[in-house]
Structure formats: C-alpha cells, structure tokens
Structure 1
Amino acid sequence: MSKILEAPLSLKADVWTHFGFKAKEGNQGIDKTNAICKHCQASIRYTGNTTNLRSHLQRHHADKLASPQPKKTRDPTQTTLDNTASKLPSNSVRAQKITESVVHYICKGLCPYSVVENTGFRFMINTLDPRYVIPTRSYMTDKAVPRIYDKVKDDVKSALSSAPQVALTCDGWTSRATEAFVTITCHYVDEEWELMSHVLQTRAMHETHTGSNIAELLKAALEEWDLVSKDPAIVTDNAANMSVAAELAGMLHFRCFAHTLNLASQRALKLPAVARLLGRVRQISTFFKRSITASHVLRQKQKLLELPEHELITDVVTRWNSAHDMLERFLEQQPAVSASLLSNELRKTEKEVCTLCESDITSAEEIVDAMKPMKIATLVMSKESSPTLSVVAPLHAQLIQDFQESRADSEIVKEIKAAICQDLSKRYMDQQKETMYVCSALNPRFKALPFLPDDEREEIYLRITAEARRIQELFQEEAKVIPGEEDNHVEDKDDIPASPPPKKKKDLCCLADLLGSTYSAGPAVRHRTTQAQAEEEMSSSPVLAERDAKEWLGFYNELNITVDANINKSESELKKCYECKVVYGTTVSFAADWLRQRFLRQDIRSKREFQCVIVDEVDSLMLDKGLEVVYLSTEIPLMECLNGILAEIWLIINQLKRLETGEILGPVQLFSELLSEIITENKKIDQDSIVQMAVEAGIMPTKYLKQTQENMTNALKQLDNASVVQIVAFLTIFAKKIT
C-alpha cells in the first residue's frame, strides 16, 4: 500500500486531518486529483472544495468526525487596529455630550452604576457611535454623576431664590432593604404661574426618628438650600415626631390632609363587620391571582358573560383606597367570580374558597357607596397640579357633614359614618385652622366661607383686610424713589404680550360634585330675587369703575383732569390708561397690574400707586365686606382729600346698625340734604363743619367724633388749596348720585 502524504499547509479545513494525497509516479510531487481517507484508504475525487470529503466522513466515519469548533468572535467594544486612530477623545464635545446623556439615563431611570458594564448596554452604545469609549463605573460614581448633580443643584437654587415664598413637604419612608430615609421636597409658583416641585434631598436616617433628630435634618436642609430667609411652611403626615420636628425647626406646620383621610378611612375599615367582609373578598382575589387554572376559568367566564376582562385587585395595607378598589372590582366581576367558583374545574380542587352570600354582596355595595366621598377627596388632594391648602377647610367641613348618620342608613353604614366623622372631627383644631380659613377666603370658589359661623367668618375677613393693608403700605414704602436712582426704572416692554395666570383645566368636576354649593364664589346663603341679582351684576366693581370713569368725565374735564378705567385692557392700553391723572379700577385690577409690573416686568404703571377710594352708591363701601369697592389712582391733592372725606362719610354711615336692617336710604338722603344746604349757602367746608353736621343730624354717633376728627385732619388741611367752586361742583355731582 502506497504511503499517504499529509495535505499541504495551505489547506486549512478541519477535514484534512482525516485525508491526505498519494504521490505521483516517480515521487514527483503530490497527486491532488484524489484525496485518500486515512481511515479506510478510500479514494475521493478532489475538485478544490471539501464537500465530497466531508460527506464521506459523515457517512462512513461519523464517530471520527469531531463537532466543528465555533469561530471566535471578538468583543464588539474591543479596540482594533481599524478604529484605534478614530476614537473620540474624552474631552471632546461629542464625547462629553454622550457621557452627559448616559448620566441622564442613569439618573432619570434610577439605574445602578453597573449599567455601564452591562454587555447589552455597551453593545448599544458601540452601535450608536463606535468611536465613543464608555467611562468606567468608578468614573460615573466619583465624577460624572456628582458633576451633573452640582449643576442641577445650582439651577434649582437659582429658581428657588427668585421665588417669593416656598413650601416644603417631608416624608419618612423605609426601603425594601429596611433602610430608613427622609425625603424633602420644595414647592413654589414660578413667574409663569406654574406650580413647580423639586426633590431637594433624600437622606438616610440611621438614628432614631425622634422629633429633635428630624428637626436637625430640616434645619440643615434649609441652610443648604438658602431657604431660611423665606420662612417656609412644611407639610408632613400626622405622626407626632413630625409635629415636634416642625415646632423645633420653627416652621409653620400643616398635616397632610390626604394622610388624614387615610387615617379616618382606615379606622372605618377596621370595624369588625367591614374587616370580616374585606377578608373574604381578599381571600377570593388572592386565590384567582395565585392559581393559573382559576385565572383561565375567570377569563372564560368574563367572555361568556361579556364582562370587562379585568383582573381582581388585592388591597394594600398602607393605602385605604386600594380596599375600596378591591371591593369595587369584585362587585364588577361578581357574576364571573361566582360562575368560576361553581365550575367543575375549581370545585374539585378548591373547596375552601367560598362565595359571598347575598347579604355580603349588599354590604359590599353599601361600603363602596359610603366610602366614595373619601376616595374622591383622596384623589383630589393627591394631585400636584395646583395648591390644595385652600380646599382643605371646606372639604373637611363638607365631609363631616356628609358622614352624619341618617335614618335610612343600614347598621354597617352607620358604623362607618360614625367612625369617620369621629376621627375627622378631632383634626385641625389648633392654630392651623385659622391659616386654612384665610387660604379658603382668598380662593374665589370658597371666599364666602359658608361652613363658618358669622363671627368666625367676620374675624377672618378682618384679618385679611389688615394683612392687605400692611402689604399695601409695605409696597408703597418700597415704591418710594431713592435719591440717585430715579432712572432705574424698568424697561419698556410693550412688545411682550401680557401673560395672565393660565386657566385651570376643568378636571375638578368631582370636587364640585362633592362640595356642592360650597364650591362657589357667591356669597354665603343669600336668597335673591331675579331683580336683585340683576342689580348686583350691574353694580359690580368692574362695571362701576368703567361707568364712573365715564359719568364723572364732565367734572374732570372742568378741572382739566384726564381720567380712565383700567378694566379689560391690553398692555398698551393699560400703559396709556396710567398716563391719565385719575385711574378708576378695582382691587383686583390694580393688584393684577401691580403683579404684571413686578413679576412680568411690564412697565404699565410706572411709579403709580394705590391712592384713594371712590365710593359707589349701590354697595356703600364696606356694606359687603369691601368686596365691591371701587378704587382710583391719582396724585392730585384735591382729589385725595375729597375722596378721603367721602370714604370717611361712608365709613360713618356703615357703622350704623340701621344699615343692617336695610334702611340705607334714610342716612343717605339725610346727608344729601346736608350737602344741598352747604351748596346753597356756599359755606366754607372744613373739618368741623362736615363732622359736626353729621353728628347733629344723627348720622354719626358722638363717640366717633374725636376719632374721625383726628383721622381727617391731614386730609382736610389740603382743602385750602382748592377753591370753593371746585369743592361745591364736586359735592353737587356726589349729591345727585346718592339721591
């Protein structure tokens, strides 16, 4: 047998370990026309490929044929000679932007730092840009993420510094790894009237959660974020340690109303009858969640009964509304659940799970209906789209009223209402309630405060009036021009459109249904005829301001005084309006113009301030708590004095109890006659003559004489600059208007 020669090294296929070639005759080279099998000496024709050879091995020597070795694949991120020269430098703009994007992905997705070591993540980045070198995990931990944190922190601190006021929320929580943390969030309204929220910090709390320890954490946060000077209020849950912490930190504290609702609801759910029913429903829901067969049968029954293919819900201990959702979903799927439990597939294997009887179903329906107001209130108070403190007081009062027992209630509903009402009644009984009442009064929907007694309502109105007066005086002091700074006024920005607060979306229909008549901007419990309602509409402040500016135009023209009203005007029209010497308006319109000037940098008012009160004869100044007062802005000393006198006169009239009985025409007509005497006799008008005639006529009680004289002294002194003709003309028009 001739010798089989090894295949040349140029033939690298794995089959050549099993084949060779014969030498040509005379040993003059290798005969490559046929390959010789080393195992059976068979001659296989070779034409340049190994297909025939491999087929021979598979048919005759399968045991000799080893499994083919897989080709080695290189790491897609491994550096090669082809792309080494084109790698992005780490300090290049492109590389830095990609690194920032990776950091943003880690932070926003709450991903671990190890994500940069993940093979799939590295493959994705390499596919997007093969030139980019992913930083190491330690680089992300020590440099990249801290750098982004510092940048975001500076941006947040800058935004907080421009906010006039801020509020904080603080919450303690425990992770799944039983580690305790405290999270502090800051809330404020920006220049675009949007409610903004920033999570300032989440700190580990390894020490005990005492009030003093939490207070130290709060103080440190205020110092770190430069919020000490803003004197923020804080909202926490009802835990005693949080109340102590807020007190020790010197912060105005409010208890979370959503947490209050949760506590009251949990108290109702722990009633024996309710807890027993919840336990049965929970057992059924858990059974269908854990059993594959039961879930399959339930879906079949849902299709057969044409019910929504919803899964059953199991409640969570810390969220009471999950129990409400569990009952609601069970009632929705009750026909399918009952049919499933009675099916042969489940009756054979699960005999311990029983269906609910008719009385249980009835009780479940009653519980769902009874607890519905609490769920609506919880959902409304859990939103972050708008501030909710003004809603707390009316909603709290309405819920207490709604959960009063009625004769038609079943025993289980009576127990639920009693438990909730008892728990809610003991909440917000401290100094918090006054601040909440003020917030509600400042909300147009609840300003009538119908849930308060008359004396408390009056006290809140007086408190708001006093605070408004204090703020007005403060603004007037700030508006005084400092010598050398006369030219430091705001640039003219007529090209910038006015940006009033955006209208709220109409997503609070459920709140309106829950509060009923309380959810209204109207006065408290006042029944009016159609005529009276029409008169009130016609005598509202904006209407009066525009009307008076027109009707008194003749008088002002006689004195060469320009006049206008700042009602329903664009920015350019407002700027022209404030060029007049007298500007009529309302507290709302003047306040809105001040906000545009102050925050939106619209130079519409220049240096104009609030000055005097123009009294309209329908509303009689303070008769309706000052809500329909018409204001004017003017720098004319004469107008300031005359309107000061008129305001004082109306204040005197309002002090009389006769106004409360509706006998308004008596004093007004009487004073009109006095004015007619002054005009006819052309007497000199001074402090003594006006006040003394008011006393003699019985319009003003004597006890107010001294106080009124002191208040009017400065204003009346300036009347010396006015001629008698001017004063008489002014009072003549006034006399005609009030008669």
Structure 2
Amino acid sequence: MKRIHQLYSDERTAKEKLLAEASYVALTGDHWTSISNHNYLGVTAHLIDRGWKLKSFALTVSKTVTRHYADACAEQFDAVTKEWEIENKVTTIGTDSARNMVAAARQLPFDHIPCAAHMLQRTITACLEDNSFGTALAKCRKIVGHFRHSPASTEELHQQQTALGQAREPLVQDVSTRWNSTLSMISRYLRNHEAVNATLATQKHKLATLTNPECDKLQKLEAVLEPCKFSCPGSPAVLLPLRLSPDHWILVFPPHWTPLFLPGPPVPAWTPRSCLDPPVPGQTPHYTSCSPLLHSCFPPTEPLFTPTIKHFHSSQPW
C-alpha cells in the first residue's frame, strides 16, 4: 500500500509541474455510473507542453453523492480547477450536451465546447426511432435477444459457425446509450445470417425471421452508419481547442489527435463544421459546413432521415 501511495504522489507531482508550466489548459468532463450504481465525475486536462506535445491526463475521478443539478455540477468543476490551481488558466471545457451540463457551463467562466460526437450520436438515435428500418431492426433485436439470453442457443450457433467455416462469435445486442452499438448489432448479424437461420431452423421458437428485402435494408443501414463509427468513437471530445497565446489557438482532432494551428480566436462553438481545411501559407484557414458530412451519412433516398437532420441543424449548437 505504501508503494501505491508513493506512485500516486510521484505521478501527481509530475502532473502539477506540467500544469504549472502551461499557460493555458482545456478541460473535458463527464458524469458516469459504475456497475455497482455509484456516480462519479471524471475531469481530464489537455495542454501543450514545452516540447509542443499534447498532454492529456485525468485530474479526478471522484465519487459524487449529490444529484447532478447544474449548480452542483458547476461547483464540482470549479472545485477541481481550484484544487489543481488552474482556475486562471482554463480556457474551455468540453462536455456532452445534456441540459445540466450546458446549464452548468453557463455558470463557469470558461468557454463551453459541446461534444460534436455526442450530438451526432443523438441525431443517429433520433433518426432510428422513426424511420422505415423499424420493422427490420425490431426483428433483428428479438433474434439477437433470443441468443443472448440462451447459452444453449448460443452454443448451437457456434456449432453452425464452425460447420460453415466462420469464426465463433456471439451476436451483439444494441443499447441506445452505447455508441455504435446498433451498427455492431447489424454487422454481426449480417455476417452470421446464414448460421443464425440454420440454428433457428433446428429450434422451436416464435421468432419472425428477417426476409431478404429486410436484410437488404439492414445492409443499406449498415452502409449509412459505417462512416459515423469514426465520428463517434466514444472520445470525450471530437474537437478540442487549446489556447497557445492570446492570439493563437490549436484545434486537435482524434483519432490521432492531429493538431491544426489557427490565428485568432477559435471557430465559434455554434458554427456548423465537420472539419477544418489544411492551412495554406499566406492564407487564413477556413472551415467547411457539417451538412455535407451528415448528408453523406444520411442520404435523401431515405426521406424520413431528412426532417430530423434539419431540426438538428436549426436547433442544436455545433
């Protein structure tokens, strides 16, 4: 135990030195619930060190007992900045767009950057709740649930996979709050469609199997959702602005955290954007609208997607 405390002390000292040397710090944070139903607040710091390398590390993962009202959230974030003595260095805070987080950010003296990936995921979830894929998705969920809740059925599925020369893998159930889970469910089902049907053919059940046209629909939906997998990787922030000086900012993008330097203030958080073009010497960097990205993911051939996206564009800050 003494060794653990020493390791913690050494690591904290190193992080305090990085924060002391930094002129500006960006934060990301979120509340989450453990498997034992305990609530925690996680806050991560992001900065550029003297070697011009991005450094990201956790400041706290603290258990919370109060309800996640806006006032309480704001106090928790403020307490973290004061504990690490960076309250005068924090420039931005990135969170999801939950109402309590948005309201809490308004009470803090930092610029709020809503998570673009979270908003895109919310758009996807809203689209999937009201569209022509509903019947096919409902059947797929019931079939997957049948195997997920029966170890015997899962073992029979594995035997069929082996007989067909496929990898032995379980089906995946989608969860509305788990990013990309619907895509994972569809992809896994389609990859094992033949084995699933062969297994169900040997069982007594009341499941409605997917027809060929419905499988075709799922294939189209898979193609639609595939690009979103790279935009919604589960990262706490898809666009991370870090201030280098009063006149220069850097925007950092996952998955490889590629930096892009910008003169002047960052692009406003409410301005639609999907990416920033590479800077050209002698020219001011510019940005492109997020509309082409969304419409490439949700083509107008599926008309029920369109109203949701238009509503998203007009009512949600980006």
Structure-1-length-normalised TM-score: 0.35
CA distance in 2, matches of 1:421, 1:286: 34
- Cα-to-partner distance string for 1:499-554 (whole Å, 9 max, x where unaligned): xxxxxxxxxxxxxxxxxxxxxxxxxxxxxxxxxxxxxxxxxxxxxxxxxxxxxxxx
SS of alignment partner, residue 216 of structure 1: helix
Kindly indicate whether residue 278 of structure 2 is the aligned counterpart of residue 398 of structure 1. Answer: no
Other-structure match for 1:248: 107
Identity of aligned residues (%): 26
Q: Which amino acid aligns with 1:386?
A: W
CA contact (8 A) 1:184 1:199 kept: yes
CA contact (8 A) 2:132 2:304 kept: no
Kindly indicate whether residue 187 of structure 2 is the aligned counterpart of residue 307 of structure 1. Answer: no
Other-structure match for 2:122: 263
CA contact (8 A) 2:40 2:62 kept: yes
CA contact (8 A) 1:264 1:424 kept: no
1:148, distance to aligned residue in structure 2 (A):
4.4
Alignment of 1:465-504 (within 5 A): none
CA distance in 2, matches of 1:330, 1:388: 38
Other-structure match for 1:480: none
Kindly indicate whether residue 222 of structure 2 is the aligned counterpart of residue 368 of structure 1. Answer: yes
Q: Which amino acid aligns with 2:231?
A: A
1:170, distance to aligned residue in structure 2 (A):
1.2
Kindly indicate whether residue 317 of structure 2 is the aligned counterpart of residue 428 of structure 1. Answer: yes
CA contact (8 A) 1:301 1:336 kept: yes
CA distance in 2, matches of 1:313, 1:290: 11
Alignment of 1:406-425 (within 5 A): 406=300, 409=301, 413-425=302-314
CA contact (8 A) 1:219 1:249 kept: yes
CA distance in 2, matches of 1:222, 1:176: 28
Other-structure match for 1:356: 210
Alignment of 1:653-732 (within 5 A): none
- Of residues 173, 177, 184, the one that matches 1:325 is 184
Q: Which amino acid aligns with 1:358?
A: N
Kindly indicate whether residue 158 of structure 2 is the aligned counterpart of residue 158 of structure 1. Answer: no
Return the structure number with greater helix share: 1
1:225, distance to aligned residue in structure 2 (A):
0.8
Kindly indicate whether residue 257 of structure 2 is the aligned counterpart of residue 386 of structure 1. Answer: yes
CA distance in 2, matches of 1:227, 1:385: 26
* Cα distance, 1:304–1:428 mapped onto 2, change above 3 Å: same
Q: Which moved further from structure 2: 263-272 or 284-293?
A: 284-293
- Of residues 275, 281, 286, the one that matches 2:140 is 281
CA distance in 2, matches of 1:335, 1:323: 20
CA distance in 1, matches of 2:151, 2:298: 45
Alignment of 1:58-457 (within 5 A): 99-100=2-3, 103=4, 145=5, 148-271=7-130, 273-343=132-202, 346=203, 350-379=204-233, 381=238, 383=254, 385-386=256-257, 393-395=273-275, 396-402=290-296, 405-406=299-300, 409=301, 413-428=302-317
- Cα-to-partner distance string for 1:354-405 (whole Å, 9 max, x where unaligned): 3111221122112111222222322384946416898982342332342575
Runs of 4+ in 1 over 6 A off after TM superposition: 388-392
CA distance in 1, matches of 2:196, 2:307: 32
Other-structure match for 1:521: none
Segments of 5+ residues of structure 1 without an aligned counterpart are: 1-97, 104-144, 430-739
- Cα-to-partner distance string for 1:16-60 (whole Å, 9 max, x where unaligned): xxxxxxxxxxxxxxxxxxxxxxxxxxxxxxxxxxxxxxxxxxxxx
Q: Which amino acid aligns with 1:209?
A: H
CA contact (8 A) 2:158 2:168 kept: yes
* Cα distance, 1:219–1:384 mapped onto 2, change above 3 Å: farther
CA distance in 1, matches of 2:148, 2:317: 41
CA contact (8 A) 2:47 2:56 kept: yes
SS of alignment partner, residue 283 of structure 1: helix
- Cα-to-partner distance string for 1:52-86 (whole Å, 9 max, x where unaligned): xxxxxxxxxxxxxxxxxxxxxxxxxxxxxxxxxxx
CA distance in 2, matches of 1:164, 1:99: 34
CA contact (8 A) 1:168 1:184 kept: yes
SS of alignment partner, residue 192 of structure 1: coil
* Cα distance, 1:335–1:404 mapped onto 2, change above 3 Å: closer
Segments of 5+ residues of structure 2 without an aligned counterpart are: 239-252, 261-265, 276-289
CA contact (8 A) 1:403 1:417 kept: no
1:323, distance to aligned residue in structure 2 (A):
0.8
* Cα distance, 1:421–1:376 mapped onto 2, change above 3 Å: farther
* Cα distance, 1:185–1:174 mapped onto 2, change above 3 Å: same
1:337, distance to aligned residue in structure 2 (A):
0.9
- Cα-to-partner distance string for 1:573-623 (whole Å, 9 max, x where unaligned): xxxxxxxxxxxxxxxxxxxxxxxxxxxxxxxxxxxxxxxxxxxxxxxxxxx
Structure number with the bigger relative contact order (C-alpha 8 A, sep ≥ 6) is: 2
1:150, distance to aligned residue in structure 2 (A):
3.7
1:230, distance to aligned residue in structure 2 (A):
1.2
CA contact (8 A) 1:373 1:399 kept: no
- Cα-to-partner distance string for 1:178-236 (whole Å, 9 max, x where unaligned): 32221111011223333211111123322232222211222221111111221321000
Aligned length: 278
SS of alignment partner, residue 263 of structure 1: helix
1:277, distance to aligned residue in structure 2 (A):
2.6
SS of alignment partner, residue 319 of structure 1: coil
Structure-2-length-normalised TM-score: 0.78
1:352, distance to aligned residue in structure 2 (A):
1.4
CA distance in 2, matches of 1:243, 1:320: 21
SS of alignment partner, residue 168 of structure 1: strand
Q: Which amino acid aligns with 1:393?
A: R
CA contact (8 A) 2:225 2:297 kept: no
Q: Which amino acid aligns with 1:190?
A: D
